[in-house]
Every structure is written in C-alpha cells, then in structure tokens.
Structure 1
Amino acid sequence: MTAVSPRIGAAELVVTREDGTPLSHHDVVVEQTRHAFGFGNIGFDLIPHACGEADLSALAEDWLGLFDTATLPFYWGRFEPERGRPDTARLLTAARWFVERGVRLKGHPLVWHTVKAAWVDPLPSDEVELLLRARIAREVSDFAGLIDTWDAINEVAIMPVFDNEPDGVPNAVSRLARELGPTGIVQLAFETARAANPSATLLINDFDLSARYERVIEEALAAGVAIDAIGLQAHMHQGYRGEDWLREKADRFARFGLPLHITEVSLVSGALMPPHIDDLNDYVVDSWPTTPQGEERQADELERMYRALAAHPAVSSITYWGITDDGAWLGAPIGLLRADGTRKPAYDRLRALIRGEWWLSPTPQRTDAAGRLRIEGWRGRYRVTAGSASAEFELGAAADPPTTIRL
C-alpha cells in the first residue's frame, strides 16, 4: 500500500478464540472500516433525506461511499429564525442518521456574526450575551453524544469590525465582539461550550489566514482559553493556490502545537472567479456552469491538494465544502457531482485515494502458530473476521504494544 508516512500505523495482532487460546495457522480477513484522519464534507444536502422529507438515496450512497465526517449547520439565524423555536428535533434526527452509519459529526458554528438571528440585533448587549450563552449551552447539551466537535467561533478575526446592516439595525454579535474584544468573545464561546460538554472538541475557525488570525489565537491561548484545534478555510473560487501555499499555511499555524482542521475547502470546475473580487460573496452571476475542461482541472488540483494536506503531520482532517453543484455555495460549480447527480472526474479521483490507495480493502491473511499477524496501513478502525466471528480494533502508531483480538 502506498500512503503518506505521517498517517501510517502498524500493529502486531494476537488473534485468539473466545477462551483465550491462540487462533493458530488460521485464515482471517482484515479490512479497514474508518480512517483516523477525518475525510469530511458538509451534510447539509442530506438532511431532508435523513428526516424522511425527500428520497435522496443516490446522493446518500455517493456521500457515504467517500466521506466519514460530516459538518451539520447550526447557523443561528436559520436554526432559530423565531425566538424560542429552534430546529432541534429535525437536526437531532439528521445527526442520528449520520451516526448510525458510522459518520463522525461536527456542528458549525456556535458563534458567528453572519447568518445570525435577526431578532437579536435590537436587543441591548447584556441581553445579547445572555442569549448567546444560552444558545451555545443549549445546542452543545442537546447534541452531546451525537455531535461532540464544534466550531465554537467562526471568523473572529473580522468579527469586531464586520459591518452588515441591511435592515439598518447594527449587528448584535459584532457589537458584542467589539465590546468584549476578540479574546473576550472567544472566551465566551469556548468557556460556555466547555461547561455544557467538558469532553467536546472545540475549534476556532477562520478564512483569514493572516497574522491577524495568529494574533487572535496567541492572545486567546495566553488568556487560558482551551482551544482544541485550529480551523483553516481555503475556498479557491479564484483558482488553486498550490502546494507551496498550503504547506506554508499549515507550517505557520502548526507552531501552536494544536491539530489543524481544514474546515472548508473548495475548487471550481468551471470558469474561475475574477481575481479582483475581494469578498467572494460579492461575485453574483446568473449562471455558473461546470465545463469538461474545468472538471479535468478540478480533478487534478483536488488530488494534488489532498496529497499535500494529508502529508502534513499537523493536519488531522479535511472537509470539502459540498458534494453536489445543486445548491452549492455561491452557485459555483464546486461539487464533486454535477447538478444532475452524475459524478465528475474529481469524485472518482478522490475515491481512488480515500477508498483505494489510502484504504485497506478486505484482505485475506493467515495467523502464525501463536495466532499472530502484522497489519500496516492508514491509522484508523479495522475489523478482523474469521468465519462468522469478527472483532474491531484501532490501528495506531507503530510503537504501540501488541493488540489481542478475541473472536
């Protein structure tokens, strides 16, 4: 198996019968069931299917055939558009659907100044803070055990200065961030979420990968905020930025000694957005089609990007931002499937990596006299099967002691 060295684990297994005697000179089958590395995508498109509102079986099959980690939407303004009426039951149903299929989940985001609840804006800051804390605690508590990873705060680097007042009412979350300061709003998010679920994995997340974001992280850590991982966004609607760019960003943020999650990444399979556009949201076109040439470019760049990111030891997950062009962010052709559901070359290229080159398919092996066998592959969850008996184990670092598998 050819793979990326920071991801490889090796283990010596001792396979025994139920009574503890070695399963000597016996044929078994070893297969991988999930990567330790998170290969993710947004799960937004599958919520209607998970809730029984629409039959999207083909889309679900393609999603589950490639990804093992899903991001679910908790944008305050959409999750609770009317005060006191959150969409909890529906999202719980969707979360259970994913978990039942072995998918890890992350909630996105708990605190963000965009797509926030408009009914909060006219309220005084002290009430906004109480409501925001209550919202964080509610979501983290209600979904504990299903969603234990959260983008605790999103895009705080620009949050205090964000200016978006379409209704003439100042943005309440940005206002609170200005009053508390970047460190204060980060503390609010992390401490409230941590109190609601002490075992949660909490991320700070941003698209601004400049020194400004580094300062936010530095100051939060210095203030004692327990950040579990750093989220880095990299939407590439204006073109692939290249392996050197990816490595430079990963190297720079790796200095904090925390896992790096590539939380949002995308590549276009059609015409590229003009380079003079500063805010991607400002680019609005009537139609943005995928093209054959663009699809080939997307597939090539996608493979290069995944190989570069997976090779970096600090990176622990990659979440591609959308599986289909149908309803894709900004209307851009960034999906791995066309709007009609057919697969682009990028889907097949990524599947050849994740479920091919970087995956151990069911493989026959034979134990020795002591019931031993050696496994090497990408770290993650594996299964050993002998006849009708099977057991799962975690493949970790090569230095781990022998693992006894009792069938």
Structure 2
Amino acid sequence: MRVSVAFRDDRLELDVPDDRLVGSWEGPEPMEVGAFLDRLRRELDGPRGFPPLAQNVVPGDRVVLAVDSEVPELARVVATLAGVLSGAGVESIRAVGLGPIPASQRDDWPASVPLGEHDPGAADPMAMAYLASTGGGRRIYLNRELIEADVVVSVGVLGFDTVLGYRGPWSTLFPGLSNAETQASERKSPAGVGRRGSVLEESAEVSWLLGSLFHVGVLPGRSGAAGVVAGEAGAVREEGIRAIEGAWTFRPEDRADLVIAGVGDPGRPTSLDDLAAGLATAAGLVRRGGKIALLSRAGGPLGPALSRLSGLDDPARGGAKALRGLEGAPDFPAALAVADALAWADIYLLSALDDDTVDDLSMIALGSPEEARRLASVSPSCLVVSRADRTRAGARRA
C-alpha cells in the first residue's frame, strides 16, 4: 500500500505491503482559507455564550490581542479581529505574542496592529505587572500590556499539552504570558497529555481575574486550520477540548515493530519540544524493544535537562531518574519524554542536530529520509504517523 509521512515542508512516500501495514495517520483535513475566514467571522458575530465581539468594546477602548505564534493563519486571524474591532470604533489595537511570528505570516501581518514579543525572563521589572492572587494563594504576574488594557482577547491554538493537558487561548494568557518563575513552577505539576489538571483550572481562574472573557481557539489541520471556536472563555475551553479529542486522536488496533513518525508544521521552524512530543506519540504505538524512525528538521541548543540526559553514559537506562531536580527547567517535559522513549524503543532520528549530539542522546542519526524507507522494507509490521507532535495516539491492544 502506498502511504506517506509528512514532516515540516517535506514528505516521504512509502510502499508498505498490506499485511505489514498496521495503520497510517495524517491528521484532520484543513479548511480552505476563504472558508476558514468566513467561519471565523460567523463565530465572532455569533459566539458561544457571549455577545458578539463588536458589542464587547466601546470607542476609546485599548484592546490587546494575546496571541500564540503557532496559530494557523495567525496574520489573517488578527486582521479579521482588527477589522471587527475597528468597525466598532476601536482605534488602539495591539498584539502580544508568545514567540516570534513565522516568516510565512509576517508579510500578511496587518500594519495597524503593532506586535510585541513576550519575554518571560525579561530583566526590565516594568515588563510584568501584578494582577491578583488566585484562590490558592499564587500571586499572578502577567505581561504589563494585558494589565493596562481595557479589553484583552486571547487567541490560541487548540491542541494537547503535557503540562495543562490541553492548550488553547486559556494557556496563551496563563501560563504563556506570565513570568519565568511561574512557568517553572507550573512545569512541576504536569497533568499529562489529554488530562485535566491543576494548571488548566488555574488558567481559567486567571482569565476570569483579568476579565479576559472573549476567547478564540483555532484548531490546526494537517496543514493550515481545520476549525475555529469563539466566545465566552469557559464555553470555548469545553468545545475546544472536544474538538481536540475528536480531531487529533489516533487509535490503531495494535502496536507495530516500527513506527515512522513525521514532526513539524509546514512553514514553521520545528523545535526540540516538537521533536519530544512526536517521540512520545511514537512510543505509544511501537512495541517494546521496537524501532522508531522520527523524521524532522528540528534543531537548536539543548536546554539544561536535555544536556544532562546527553551527558549520561546510557540515557536509555535511568534517564528519567537522572532528571530529578530539573523539574522546573524549560526543557524538562521534553527531556522526560525523550528518556521514556529511549527506555522503550530504539530511536532513529532525522533532524538538524549534529550527529555527535544525536549519538550522545543514544539515538541513531539518519542521513536522509530514504533510510527510513529501508527500515520499513525489513520490518515485520509498520505504522506511519504524520504530525506526530500534535497527535495523541495509543493502540487499542496495548
């Protein structure tokens, strides 16, 4: 059977005999851009559990859009929001992003909406401002732009998340736009992918404390956007979680001896966090002692947790134990996922990391995607998964 695996802007075609192919997955079909923007406008005019966006503002309001840079079609989403707000008489519209906007989005970014990039570790004490204390006693500091705004509209990508269980516009605000200390603390209480935990509930409380009650969640497809939900924060969270579960869950009948997994969005750099998320997905599909071939263009420097893992004689043995004490490190969730995957299966990796770094992590560097095709030709059984970093997967027969 002819199947393919997508990774960032590339695709590998494979011929796998039917009796050896356990299953394949590409993710949900994207919407055509025009249809997606029409759907977004309808959501803004008829949101869930809340008045239309234009009725949430008055002329003279200072509006800040809190945006996640991973939102598909982000520039067009922001332009559409700005159009509705401007039509309601709002003249001051700014955006604060969680990270750099991908190059593919910069040309379409609306000139009328200045964009700032959030730095959770900013040395400038004026970059953050105190909001309030939660019911649990945590003092909440957020990007000052949010605190000083009259109206904050949060825009997030809907997906699974290791710390919150589920990410969306709620996590864009908190912990996304909080300070480094708070983010490190939250990483010590991970809910696990697809599970509701304390950080998810705290993010809802922070949205309420801030008064950011209009949220927009964009569901990614295998490329582009597959859907959008807008309205009252709680309603968007619940509908968003249902959408994530329905669109990005893959349940093949059985595990396979080899899993070939692709990682990365088209047009966006692939991070080591993406790589680790893809490994976690693949580990849930491969038989113990089997092989994972992960195809990516992921690169970048190793953080403190991954560096500790790479410094071990054998990260596949006792790697998770060696990470104790680094639970607050930015790359701790990624390092833990890598350690767990190494303990479960042999990992073959195509990435932008140099071969020595891959070797230090007890993985086998692939020189080209075609080497994964050779692994498939000799494997008794095979699963093929695109967009593994966004997918929650597990075999029905574990």
- For normalisation by structure 2, the TM-score amounts to 0.28
CA radius of gyration, larger in: 1
- For normalisation by structure 1, the TM-score amounts to 0.27
